Chains A and B, each alone.
Chain A
């Protein structure tokens, strides 16, 4: 699988605090953990209210298939993969996967710039997103 540097966002919709923590802790462990370049090591930003995060790293594409993300949630919920469903949209920010369990939307993943974006395209997308939602992310606005 190809390694690709990009930005991945998550937004909590209806995860419990332990579920959200498990998801964030899991996402912190994917991608490079050691590299001479700090830019390639998985690092993140947490939204002011704690209900969103943006990760950046040189990731393995395998981590970002729809099934891989569904499986991650299924593991957190302790349920079968088939019980986690998804809906995909493509707004300006990139590819958005809304994941549901028992027909309730639980969490949103955003691959900034879309699934085939270059690093620069992904960065442009996440910066546009942050500028448009600065009240949620910036201490001083």
Chain B
């Protein structure tokens, strides 16, 4: 009997849902459920693992029976950079999504940028989502050639939520989603991405490996695709 995909994950392993979503385009899938060690395992077919620093592993996950790490907001990071990732990074057509949760209400009020997941060459060529400085604001952004396309939402939830960004240079559009629902207008007028993702700037839970922009809270099930997922696909991924 086929899985009841999309019905709030009833009886279904969320991992299988991610792996089944545009599987040929799934470049990396950091499930983030390791119980110990510093390897941040990529569960996609590429098995291109990253490295944890400082995170508290095995914290309560999204409710799928798996655990996840907690970032302390100070000096933790999940470094996803590899030469293979930099070479394959989808600069023109792609999607990035994952679940996150803040450690407390103060995270929405401390005026600090905190990245959930992101990849950047520099300030002009980057894709990410995370906290921005405004009270309660979360930003999903794709910048290419100095042209920034971003959508910001104001949140106050202390529970899990899913964020996803899709981008397509060919279709000239960027879409942002929270919990599987598109937020803001579809962004158009994309620039052209220049350069390769920097070794210090391919991170889960931090902006740079310094680290700066450290997330405060939990992150789970981060996926990166080399194709823009459809609204229907993101809707399936955006519910637990």
Interface residues of A (CB under 8 A from B): 7, 36-39, 41, 43-46, 48, 54-56, 123, 126-127, 130-131, 134, 137-141
Bound-state Cα–Cα, A7 to B76, Å: 12
B112: which of A55, A126, A130 is its contact (CB, 8 Å)?
Answer: A130
Interfacial chain B residues near A123, Cβ < 8 Å: 72-74
Seed contacts A131-B111, A138-B213; 7 additional CB < 8 Å A-B pairs: A36-B37, A41-B53, A123-B72, A126-B74, A127-B216, A141-B112, A141-B133
Stretch at the interface among B54-62, B148-156, B169-177: B54-62
Residues of B within 8 A of A46 (CB): 210
**Please, how many angstroms separate the alpha-carbon atoms of A36 and B34 in the complex?**
11
- A45/B56 in contact, CB under 8 A: no
**Distance in Å from the Cβ of B133 to the closest Cβ of chain A?**
7
Q: Does B212 contact A (CB under 8 A)?
A: yes
Contact A140 B207 (CB under 8 A): yes
Interface membership of B211, Cβ < 8 A: yes
Q: How far is the CB of B113 from chain A (nearest CB, A)?
A: 4
Residue in contact with A37 in the complex, picked from B56, B72, B112, B210, CB distance below 8 Å: B56
Could you say which of A39, A131, A134, A140 has the most chain B C-beta atoms within 10 Å of its C-beta? A140
Q: Tell me the dominant secondary structure on chain A's binding face.
A: mixed
Between B57, B74, B214, the greatest number of chain A beta carbons within 10 A of the residue's beta carbon is seen for B74
Within 8 A of A (CB), among B204-219: 207-208, 210-214, 216
- Give which listed residue, B38, B74, B133, contacts A130 with CB less than 8 A: B74
Q: Any chain A CB within 8 A of the CB of B16?
A: no
